[in-house]
Amino acid sequence: MATKKSTLGKGLSALIASSEMSGTDSPYKEKFDIEKISPNPYQPRMNIDPAELVEIADSIRENGVIQPLIITKNPDGPNYYIIAGERRFRASKLAGLKHVPVVIKDSSPQEMLELALIENIQRQDLNPLEEATAFKQLQDQFGLTQTDISKKMGLSRVAITNKIRLLALPSAVQEYVLNQDLSEGHARALLGISDDSSLVAAANIIVKKKLSVRETEELVRKINFGKDKAKNERIEFDHRTRKALERISERLGYTTRLTRMSKGGKLTIRYLTNSELTDLLKKLAE
């Protein structure tokens, strides 16, 4: 895993920096009753490693909670929901703390999901499917477009599109991704297989044989075109052609594939839903 960033991320750092950290009306509370705090119902992270919580709890016993939790009032009850700091909250309870430092912020359900996403993404804590599920929730429940989400998360629209497409994988393959048996690269390669039974069978082979992403891409080619045909059709593109394909994919926001055939070839643009087809046709007509 890449080195974790020390910053809180744009959303969280701005949130804390804008708060007056002194005075009786301050949103910052040095000692807040931990029993009044509940987990974020919009928390995108599905799994938290118990061993990781034990490590954080040990650190909290030694040094206390250095970074305050960000919480918001539950409009339908007496408790407060966590916006950011889910692991610190759980570890603090594990460490036996009765009070924790907090910053109280007025927040809508959409903001609760967005800020929790920012915290987890910038700390590289989320599984690709957890990110995809949260992005889809922002899209379906709160009406955000993929462009809106990309701006809020600081990611390209293509990255958002590719994440959401992972949700089209069969549940058995999604489990492999959630359990980190398959990487996002493996999963994206598997999306090139059209029928679910072949896709699941391929995923089982990849996990069993511990295939690399490149080997997975080759396996997908063989499944789609047949082993012998795949050998004949394999093509090594020159640098200029690869760059052109990358620019096409970047501009359209959809995966493109160039295939050499016995006579000529074909350029394939893959989409998964009718709405994606509408979006694609609109872009091609521009």
The answer to which of 25-39, 92-106, 229-243, 264-278 has the lowest mean pLDDT is 229-243
Answer whether residue 234 shows pLDDT above 70.
no
Residue 86 annotated as catalytic: yes
pLDDT digits (tens, 9 = 90+) for 37-82: 998 887 777 777 788 889 889 999 988 888 888 898 888 888 899 8
Helices (H), 10-85: 10-17, 50-63
Strands (E), 25-166: 28-33, 37-38, 69-73, 80-84, 99-104
The pTM for the full model equals 0.55
Q: Are residues 19 and 77 in the same domain?
A: yes
Burial 100-117 (b: 16+ CB within 10 A, else e): bbbbbbebebbbbbbbbb
pLDDT digits (tens, 9 = 90+) for 12-23: 454 444 444 444
Phi then psi for 94, rounded to 5 degrees? -65, -35
Last residue of a domain, which of 99, 125, 151? 125
Phi-psi region of 69 (alpha: psi -120 to 50; beta: other; left: phi over 0): beta
Answer whether residue 260 shows pLDDT above 60.
yes
Residue 256, domain extent: 237-286
From the candidates 86, 114, 119, 131, which is the catalytic residue? Answer: 86
pLDDT digits (tens, 9 = 90+) for 112-130: 778 777 776 666 667 888 8
Closest CA to 269 of 281, 256, 280: 256
pLDDT recorded at residue 18: 44
Please report whether residue 262 resides in a domain: yes
Q: Are residues 16 and 109 in the same domain?
A: yes
pLDDT digits (tens, 9 = 90+) for 212-231: 999 999 999 888 876 445 44
Q: Are residues 186 and 202 in the same domain?
A: yes
pLDDT recorded at residue 1: 37
Q: How many domains does the chain have?
A: 4
Question: How many Å apart are CA 172 and CA 36, to the nearest integer?
Answer: 38
pLDDT recorded at residue 6: 37
